[in-house]
Amino acid sequence: MGAPNYHNEHAQTGSASHDRLGHTGKYYAMKIVNDTQTDFTGSNYGYGAVIVAGGSATGTITLSGGGGEIDISKLTQSTLYEFSVGKVVSSNAKDIYVFKKRGM
């Protein structure tokens, strides 16, 4: 009996590396909220970080579990904030990037 081959190529295993080995990095999915409301429950569960991309962004981020509400205009642009996100409401045409954490 030969030794197992741990270096199989995608075509040999029938699945992508990320499916077999897991996602790398802390975040692996992103949604952009722009002039709308997005709830991060159900199929959107697991989003845990936010970056406000556009200056003068307005709206609110509601934390999950009744943790409170954050005024988006008070956040520093291009800074990553790790929040347990329940809902994001963007009330002008500025991008809010919301990232899904690995393991969710």
Quick one: fold of 26-101? Jelly Rolls (2.60.120)
In 17-47, which positions are buried (b, 16+ CB within 10 angstroms) versus exposed (e)?
A: eeeeeeeeeebbeeeebbeeebebeeebebb
Residue 79 token pair: 């800074």
Domain chopping of the chain, boundaries: 26-101
For residues 35-62, average pLDDT: 94
Residue 92 has pLDDT above 50, yes or no: yes
Residue 50 has pLDDT above 90, yes or no: yes
Residue 4 has pLDDT above 60, yes or no: no
Q: Mean pLDDT across the chain, nearest whole number?
A: 85
